Amino acid sequence: MKSRSTHVSVVDDDESVREALPDLLRSFGATVEAFASADEFLNSNALEITQCMVLDIAMPGMTGPELRHELVRRGRQIPTIFITAIKDDDVRTRLMRDGAVECLFKPFTDEDLHQALRLAGAAD
């Protein structure tokens, strides 16, 4: 990991993901905050310090891709790793074309996530 920790925000409506993923990301040296919804993230102080995002694609309310578009609209280009339980290569292709760093299908391995963080510039 870089000498200064990268701040990663996890946005996923699945409580088990919000509990497990931060521990894994911390083991890679990141500082982490987890949010249950896009609105919760947008209304937090994390918006200004987030350097990488791990976003679920399908969430109630604003979806992960919609959140990413909202951040771009606000002028925030945050490297984004999407995660999803729905294996759809067309969705993955579209997200990657739209600028996502990676789109991982659940279940993914620790190494898959670590590699995606490297691609995002959030891990060595």
Domains detected in the chain: 7-119 (3.40.50.2300)
Mean pLDDT over residues 89-96, rounded?
94
> Residue 59 in contact with residue 84, Cβ under 8 Å?
no
C-beta neighbour count of 124 within 10 angstroms: 11
pTM equals 0.94
Q: Is the peptide bond before 107 cis (omega within 30 degrees of 0)?
A: yes
Q: pLDDT tens, 52-91?
A: 999 999 999 999 999 999 999 999 999 999 999 999 999 9
